[in-house]
């Protein structure tokens, strides 16, 4: 009897989301090897009233939707081995009000006026889906697919300086506000708006990478044994 151990490379996919480029950079800096996967159909980001009243649950739900959409399309490609899909979403919350991405320059100004001189929360939801995919029967496997996921959140606090209209107009003119929750990016020119913060800086940027790797250390492994097959001599 021959025992054959197949060592298959892990596949890791990052679902395209808000703060996308910064999340890519954070994962790369941490040493995670991954491929970018953007679902062909846009993910529904609408939330019902119950979720809007619960920001942590809302951000978890959006992260799960984004990762889940990518999982469905990855599975359609019939991959084999152990795969991870990471989806994330970040929200800015002030006094229970969720700030998404502004839809115009005037909307960005409105958000920044509300944030001026106050402390708000930045909540990131991260959903990690794990897939164990065996070869199809035609290729000598059993075709089984095992899928599971875990979702967590991380919260940081950011305090803004007292902003003048001149400060707000100058920042909006940079063009940074449009694609960012809360209409600012602490990792960019928006840093001048911030008086201070508490918690994980990377979480404010868009991905609490330390907590992610603490919970999922296998993301750093290059290869894992995912299947042992026995073949009669």
Q: What would the 3-class secondary structure string for 44-67 be? A: CCCCCHHHHCCHHHHHHHHHHHHH
CA nearest to 187, candidates 28, 63, 19: 19
**Does 44 participate in catalysis according to the annotation?**
no
Q: In degrees to the nearest 10, what's the CA dihedral of 116, 153, 217, 35?
A: -70
Q: Where are the beta strands (DSSP E) in 95-222?
A: 97-99, 119-133, 145-160, 194-198
Residue 2: CB atoms within 10 A of its CB come to: 8
Could you tell me whether strands 35-37 and 11-15 are parallel, antiparallel, or unpaired per DSSP bridges? parallel
CA distance 208 to 213: 9
CA nearest to 87, candidates 17, 180, 11, 35: 17
**Residue in the structure block whose two tokens are 């152990």:** 82
Q: Which of 29, 44, 48, 89 is catalytic?
A: 89
Cα distances (Å, whole numbers) of residue 202 to 19, 24, 98, 124, 155? 11, 12, 20, 10, 11
CA distance 163 to 168: 7
Residues with a catalytic annotation lie at 89
């Amino acid at each position: 009897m021959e025992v054959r151990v197949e060592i298959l490379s892990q596949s890791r996919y990052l679902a395209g989301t808000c703060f996308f480029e910064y999340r890519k950079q954070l994962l790369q800096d941490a040493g995670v090897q991954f491929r970018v996967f953007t679902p062909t159909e846009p993910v529904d980001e609408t939330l019902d009233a119950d979720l809007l009243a619960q920001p942590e649950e809302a951000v978890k739900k959006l992260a799960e939707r984004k990762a889940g959409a990518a999982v469905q399309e990855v599975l359609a490609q019939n991959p084999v081995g152990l795969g991870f899909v990471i989806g994330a979403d970040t929200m800015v919350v002030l006094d229970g009000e969720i700030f998404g991405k502004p839809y115009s320059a005037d909307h960005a100004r409105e958000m920044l006026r509300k944030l001026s001189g106050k402390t708000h929360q930045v909540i990131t939801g991260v959903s990690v889906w794990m897939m164990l995919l065996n070869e199809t029967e035609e290729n000598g496997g059993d075709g089984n697919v095992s899928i599971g996921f875990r979702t967590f959140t991380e919260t940081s606090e950011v305090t803004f300086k007292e902003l003048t209209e001149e400060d707000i107009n100058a920042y909006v003119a940079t063009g940074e506000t449009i694609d960012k929750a809360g209409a600012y990016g602490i990792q960019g020119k928006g840093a001048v708006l911030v008086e201070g913060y508490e918690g994980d800086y990377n979480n404010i940027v868009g991905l609490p990478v330390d907590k992610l790797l603490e919970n999922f250390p296998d993301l750093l492994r290059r290869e894992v044994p995912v299947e042992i097959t026995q073949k009669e001599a």
